[in-house]
Amino acid sequence: MKISAELAKKIKNIKLMAFDFDGIFTDAKVIIDQDGRESIICSRRDSLGTNQLKRIGIKLAVISMEPNPIVMKRCEKLKIECLVGNEKLPIFRNLIKREKLKASEAAFMGDDLNDLDCLEDAGLALTVADGAEQCKKIADYVTTKRGGDHAVREVCDVIMKTRGEDYENIYNKYEKK
């Protein structure tokens, strides 16, 4: 995808990247076994992308409305802060304030109606190919990938490339090992 000058400026300004979890890191589906235990599927490729954003100094966080142990465990493994509350927008705004940033320096990636406020408030609004139409209408960037299908990695790669980071050589270094 060709990145416009306006979008590139927004991407280069980002110091904080916040994500919804379900529908972004996952395909928004849940597997429930006969004992009621939940499981989800996440992309391991996303973790390499998020690690690269952290490497260049972008603060990462997941904002969730549900205190789900699966989400917490995945965030712990990715070393991404997980913030939970009844409403995402106050959490997002508090995170921006805590990090001493402006809204224009914060990105948010969400896929559904409960993400609209954060998407509207963010300096860079991102959603996935299978996100709600309302999210797509206000997003600065819509991934070519569906949620849970390496969409986070796509966004990380776009950010790295737009900022002039040598991300391909970095990834190749890891992939050759």
Residues 96, 102 contacting (CB under 8 angstroms): yes
When divided into structural domains, the chain yields a total of 1
Residues 85, 61 contacting (CB under 8 angstroms): no
Torsion of CA 83, 122, 117, 51, to 10 degrees: -40
The domain in which residue 158 lies consists of: 5-165
Q: Is residue 56 part of a domain?
A: yes
Tens of pLDDT, residues 25-46 = 999 999 999 999 999 999 999 9
| Region for residue 69 given its phi and psi (left: phi exceeds 0; alpha: psi -120 to 50; beta: otherwise) | alpha
Question: Residues 147-157: what's their mean pLDDT?
Answer: 97
Q: Is residue 9 part of a domain?
A: yes
Q: Is residue 176 part of a domain?
A: no
Torsion of CA 60, 61, 62, 66, to 10 degrees: 170
Q: Mention every residue, 6+ apart, whose C-beta is less than 8 A from residue 123.
A: 10, 13, 14, 102, 103, 104, 105, 106, 107
User: What is the pLDDT confidence band of residue 177, given thresholds at 50, 70 and 90?
Assistant: very low
Q: Is residue 177 part of a domain?
A: no
Q: Is residue 170 part of a domain?
A: no
Q: Has residue 171 got a pLDDT over 80?
A: no
More confident residue, 94 or 175: 94
More confident residue, 49 or 66: 49
Q: Is residue 105 part of a domain?
A: yes
Using a cut of 0.75, tell me whether the model's pTM lies above it.
Answer: yes
Q: What is the CATH number of the domain that holds 15?
A: 3.40.50.1000
